[in-house]
Structure 1
Amino acid sequence: MPDDASMSQRVEYEGEAQPDRTHVAKCGYLFKYRPYKFTKTWDLRYFELKGKVLEYYLSQKQGANHPRGLVKIEGCVVEIEGRKKSRFWVFSVVDPSGLNLLRMSSESEKEVETWVQALVEAGCTKRYLKECFRARSPLRSADIRWKGEDSAGLKRVPSNQSVLDHRWAGSEESAVTGLETADSLADTLPERDGHARRPRQPLPKDYASDSGMSESGTTAGPMPRSMTKRHSDMRGSTQLYTESRPSILSTERFAFTQHSGILNLMTMVLLATNARLILENLMKYGVLTNPTRWLLFLVPKGHTNLMYCWPAMALFALIALGIEKLGAKRLALERKASMAKRKRDMRPVEARRKAAQMAARSECLLLSLHLANLSAVLVLPTWVVLISDTPVPSFMVIIFTITLWMKLTSYAHCNLDFRRLSRDKERRRADRPSRPGGEGLGEMDIPETIHQGVEAVPGKKVDYPDNLTLRNLAHFLVVPALVYQTTFPTSKRFRGRYIIWNVVHLLVAMGVLMIITEQYMAPTIKTSVAPLRELQVAGIVERLLKLAVPTLYGWLIIFYALFHVWLNILAEITYFGDREFYKDWWNAATIGDYWRLWNVPVHKWLLRHVYYPCIRRRVPKTVAAVAVFFVSAVFHEMLVGVPLHMVRFWAFWGLMFQVPLLFLTDYIKKRANSNQIGNYVFWFTFVIFGQPMAIMLYYHDWKKMHPGLANGS
């Protein structure tokens, strides 16, 4: 059976033309067979039959979204396989050419009957399969409900015996005759739920399962001797070519053919290649990994200046809270002044003008204070790092500095929006008497989000300015989110074992990363200085290709350790509920898809505080996208250049180079109508060229700054 990502002439996915599927004739949960894994599985999916199309989703909640896949069933055949494993009732949707499109099952026989009937009414043809031929295994009597004796005079036997082991009441017959009699018995089934079973249709003699898979998902082996035709039945004139069939590797059948053997071969080749590289590295360089040096990277080596950065960051957060409390007091004074002006019977136009002036002065003051505080958040730790000579601890300080800056920026921006919404509410309330007929916006006319001043999220709502508390700010600073909200979705329980297991994963991942860096990346990087200095193109390309593999492994380990393990540990400790820290970035069809899926917290921050503020000011979308990449490029350069004490803008220009690639991959996707080309471009730019080249360039500049370390590590 095809996987959720497989495609054929009858299976369509997102981005393709979708037929009209407004009327749902049948819906419900079924098990869908997936053979393209190491362990074959039956996955629960939500199916909907809409007209001539059968769709399936991950769950019923996603029914409003695009389906995971769909099959046009008009002209197809519904093959009823019967009961498997004494529990599941299996049926399949088969193309007229014999290609198996979907294989489904359910524990309820009645549910399967209703689905089959619905598919038949939608345009399919029903066909019963002889289970002994289909599954290549003996048909168990437990799969057939006998009703006394049938027309052939056969007696009922215990349910734990095989049909082929039955002792018939009549004379002994050949294996083929007995098999045909067993099939006739299987067709004679009792009435159930008031519905009489239809007799099975005869199976073509040359029929063979397209997938060749049994109910367990394994490749069907040779049939038992008692189940095969005798060799004497095949004469010299027997026709063996009876229908037109495409080749297994052709586009018509490739998506519906099992390729686990090829996947196993690729896995063995990958293991053998990496084993050779490991052995070659050990024979050439010996053991370079020294675990005792790992802890030294975290020691400031006498430079205690970095330790003062942590209390300074806490002080900056308290200053931001004080600025917002000042803004809340200024807002309350504005309301009192507005009421006093209305009591003096000022004209509405004059009152609004005075209120706007007071609000502008207040926001100008608050903006100046926030800019000074946010500038200090970046400048002070950066200055401390530049006077220190500890790259790894400095990197930790810089990454927490940037995180705090982004959080405090979101904190200031969100509370600014709360004040604007509050002023809008007050202005609407003041304008109410001036409207004709005395009609205006009352308390119930104001939208809930404006009235509350917060977004609708699960949990208790907190109105502005009640959110301006130390506890609320401290909770925001520790949760794995960069955009501020007064409340966040929360989890229901704390799992201590989950944290311990993730801590073990984190330690193992960091250890493997250090081994890859010291044992494999460092020797290759050291030998790349000469080709770069002499601009030897062949040597540079060779070093890039050799460095690409360990860099890829290190990049994947960093992704797993940071975005999956560490952020989940932090979310579990803080009871943070929304843990979608990343999406399926490995399937990115464009560069833009990768940056949207790779780092979801940063992507949300850039959307909320960079991209959409530019759009609201009528900035073109292209310019807004460039602004997003510019901000990201500045912080990437800061992460790399400041701890190494050399700002060379390699990371900056590497990020800005993504902008033309963004438009190029979007154009390729639209022009070629395919996601694969853009995915190849993404993997090449990041794995083969981008990251290895950036590492080589930074190391080359590092060696130029430290010529005395030419022979050292």
Structure 2
Amino acid sequence: MGDKHENGSATRRRRTTISGGASAKRANGSTPASGAEERCLRNGCGAANGGAKAREAEAPARKEKSGDAADERLSCHSLQESLLSSASGYSNYRGILNWCVVMLVLSNARLFLENLIKYGILVDPIQVISLFLKDPYSWPAPCLVIASNAFIMAALYTERRLSVGTISEATGTFLYFINLSVILCFPAATVLTVTSMTSVGGVFALGVYTIVFLKLYSYMDVNRWCREIRKAKARTLSRSHSCPSVSRANGAAAHALVTYPGNLTHRDMYYFMFAPTLCYELNFPRSSRIRKRFLLRRLFEMLFFTQLLVGLIQQWMVPTIQNSMKPFQDMDFSRMVERLLKLAVPNHFIWLVFFYWFFHSSMNFVAELMQFGDREFYRDWWNSETVTYFWANWNIPVHKWCLRHFYKPMLQRGVNKWVAQTAVFLVSAFFHEYLVSIPLKMFRLWAFMGMMAQIPLAWFVGRFLRGNYGNAAMWMSLIIGQPIAVLMYVHDYYVLHSSQAQGGERGVEL
């Protein structure tokens, strides 16, 4: 019995030693304790009891998971909309957009090959020069553009006289009226009378004079506002008697601010004349530097898209227009509609290329070269759901001019909003007809009526169409409306000149 008691005591001592050693090791960090032992030491319970409680806690979770799996086997449907439904909220149509692009490329590639097989290669870059010059020794369009400097200087020196009070406001307004009237009438009369002036050269010259007209009108208005502010401050005995100017530099450009009448210089005038805007300011927003890489990209785009436009017009559009003359002469309506739809594709594609070439590549190139900071030349007109939204966002320089110098002044004079909007469309229609009829030397008013037709179209789309339907109506008016005007002018031009040629032949025979 004594031996057994000693053996039991020795066993208990060994167990105590081992337990103490293990505790010492855990305290020193050499041997980590198991999770069950830590829970037992912390909660004061045995390892067996802790394991049982853990298994009891995990049992409902296992039952819940098994229940979910059973529910999934029983039910596989939920309340949801189809992806192509507007109520689904789904908006990732990238694959469909890529499909549309692929189909567009393939369909136009077929038309391109068909055109090559039927007509051969019609692209002739040398022929483009003849569109501007009939006689290599006579350059009427460039001479007209150079002559526009006389009207620019007349406006500058009129403003200088007004700034010092040499002439009255009434006299200055009269001089501006004469100057602006001659700007519109002089080039028109030259285009109509000079036989060496081509139609394309006439469009170019009249386009430059139209831009000069709009710029000088803005120049007149802004300087008049500055004089009014100066007089108002003089009456209130303010410390500052100059027209306020705000610096809105784009970047860290360090350009000195200009105040009235310090802006009446040749440098300021010609910066405005070449800047890609129609609205004058004393201090334009300026960029900090000229980005050469950006400039070269825009220059490359300009050269590439110029060649593309020439090729598309000569190879695709001209043959289609020529083949459309006979159905128009015979009044074959089914063939006329077919020709119209066939012309719609190249015409619209050329219009889109021209938009990118002019409003993005060319205007950004000029703006970067002149460090002009405001690059908002267009907005998202392609998302237009109304006709008015399109006309307000596809050509921002013209829209800003109309809003600042025509629409808002009319509202300030108490004119009705609808009447003011109609007047804006009327002015736009006049300039569209001015730029088309005079170079073609015939007056058919198709461009004028096309612009005025936008008023009832805008009312109809805004009243009855919304969302995607309004956007589709806008695209339809662009794709179909422009070819109709083109065909009408080409048909009338063809009929007019063919009748004149036949009359000349009869005269020779007589």
- Return the TM-score normalized by structure 2: 0.79
Distance in 1 (alpha carbons) for counterparts of 2:111 and 2:314: 15
Matched, 1:589 2:397: no
Contact 1:703–1:709 under 8 Å retained in 2: no
Q: Counterpart of 1:575 in structure 2: which amino acid?
A: Q
Q: How many Å apart are 1:292 and its aligned residue?
A: 2.7
Aligned to 1:699: 490
Q: How many Å apart are 1:675 and its aligned residue?
A: 2.1
Contact 1:248–1:257 under 8 Å retained in 2: no
Distance 1:543 1:363, change over 3 A: same
Larger % of strand: which? 1
User: 1:194-251: CA deviations, max 9, x gaps?
Assistant: xxxxxx99997999xxxxxxxxxxxxxxxxxxxxxxxxxx99x982643325364452
Distance 1:660 1:204, change over 3 A: farther
User: 1:28-84: CA deviations, max 9, x gaps?
Assistant: xxxxxxxxxxxxxxxxxxxxxxxxxxxxxxxxxxxxxxxxxxxxxxxxxxxxxxxxx
> Residue 484 of structure 1: which of 241, 256, 280 is its match?
280
State how 1:531-680 maps to structure 2 within 5 Å.
Answer: 531-668=327-464, 674-680=466-472
Aligned to 1:313: 148
User: 1:422-454: CA deviations, max 9, x gaps?
Assistant: 22233344xxxxxxxxxxxxx26xxx8xx5424
State how 1:9-48 maps to structure 2 within 5 Å.
Answer: none
Distance 1:631 1:238, change over 3 A: closer
Aligned to 1:417: 225
> Residue 402 of structure 1: which of 191, 210, 217 is its match?
210
Instruction: Give the match's secondary structure for 2:168.
Output: helix
Instruction: Give the match's secondary structure for 2:73.
Output: coil
Aligned to 1:367: 173
Distance in 2 (alpha carbons) for counterparts of 1:710 and 1:586: 44
Distance in 1 (alpha carbons) for counterparts of 2:177 and 2:313: 39
Q: How many Å apart are 1:481 and its aligned residue?
A: 0.9
Gaps of 5+ in 1: 1-147, 153-199, 208-233, 334-360, 430-442
Contact 2:380–2:393 under 8 Å retained in 1: yes
Contact 1:490–1:575 under 8 Å retained in 2: yes
Q: Give the aligned length.
A: 439
Gaps of 5+ in 2: 1-31, 37-60, 249-254, 503-510
> Residue 497 of structure 1: which of 293, 298, 316 is its match?
293
Distance 1:457 1:632, change over 3 A: farther
State how 1:204-223 maps to structure 2 within 5 Å.
Answer: none
- Return the TM-score normalized by structure 1: 0.57
Contact 2:245–2:258 under 8 Å retained in 1: no
> Residue 453 of structure 1: which of 243, 246, 251 is its match?
243
Distance in 1 (alpha carbons) for counterparts of 2:109 and 2:327: 27
Distance 1:248 1:703, change over 3 A: same
Aligned to 1:303: 138
Aligned to 1:382: 188
Indicate the larger mover: 478-487 or 259-268.
Answer: 259-268
Distance 1:606 1:263, change over 3 A: closer
> Residue 161 of structure 2: which of 323, 326, 351 is its match?
326
User: Highest CA radius of gyration, 1 or 2?
Assistant: 2
Distance 1:630 1:493, change over 3 A: same
Distance 1:421 1:456, change over 3 A: same
Distance 1:252 1:292, change over 3 A: closer
State how 1:67-82 maps to structure 2 within 5 Å.
Answer: none
Q: How many Å apart are 1:638 and its aligned residue?
A: 1.4
Q: Counterpart of 1:498 in structure 2: which amino acid?
A: F
Matched, 1:530 2:298: no
Instruction: Give the match's secondary structure for 1:481.
Output: coil
User: 1:563-603: CA deviations, max 9, x gaps?
Assistant: 00110111011110010000000001111101110110000
Provide the aligned C-alpha RMSD in A. 3.1
Matched, 1:686 2:478: yes
Q: How many Å apart are 1:318 and its aligned residue?
A: 0.8
Distance in 2 (alpha carbons) for counterparts of 1:452 and 1:150: 84
Q: Share of identical aligned residues, percent?
A: 36
Indicate the larger mover: 511-520 or 695-704.
Answer: 511-520
Q: How many Å apart are 1:260 and its aligned residue?
A: 3.9
Distance 1:591 1:202, change over 3 A: farther
Q: Counterpart of 2:187 in structure 1: which amino acid?
A: P
Distance 1:508 1:203, change over 3 A: farther
Matched, 1:462 2:258: yes
User: 1:641-671: CA deviations, max 9, x gaps?
Assistant: 22222222111111111111222222235xx
Runs of 4 or more consecutive aligned structure 1 residues displaced over 4 Å after TM superposition: 148-152, 200-207, 708-711
User: 1:62-108: CA deviations, max 9, x gaps?
Assistant: xxxxxxxxxxxxxxxxxxxxxxxxxxxxxxxxxxxxxxxxxxxxxxx
Q: How many Å apart are 1:329 and its aligned residue?
A: 2.0
> Residue 262 of structure 1: which of 96, 109, 131 is its match?
96
Instruction: Give the match's secondary structure for 1:366.
Output: helix
Distance 1:300 1:150, change over 3 A: farther
Contact 1:454–1:462 under 8 Å retained in 2: no
Contact 1:524–1:546 under 8 Å retained in 2: yes
Larger % of helix: which? 2
Contact 2:141–2:204 under 8 Å retained in 1: no
User: 1:276-320: CA deviations, max 9, x gaps?
Assistant: 211221222222222232333343524333332133211111111
Distance 1:202 1:612, change over 3 A: farther
User: 1:465-521: CA deviations, max 9, x gaps?
Assistant: 221111111111111110111110000011223222211111111111111111111
Aligned to 1:274: 108
Aligned to 1:283: 117
Q: How many Å apart are 1:253 and its aligned residue?
A: 7.1
Which protein has greater RCO, CA pairs closer than 8 Å, 6+ apart? Answer: 2
> Residue 80 of structure 2: which of 216, 240, 246 is its match?
246
Q: Counterpart of 2:96 in structure 1: which amino acid?
A: I
State how 1:150-169 maps to structure 2 within 5 Å.
Answer: none
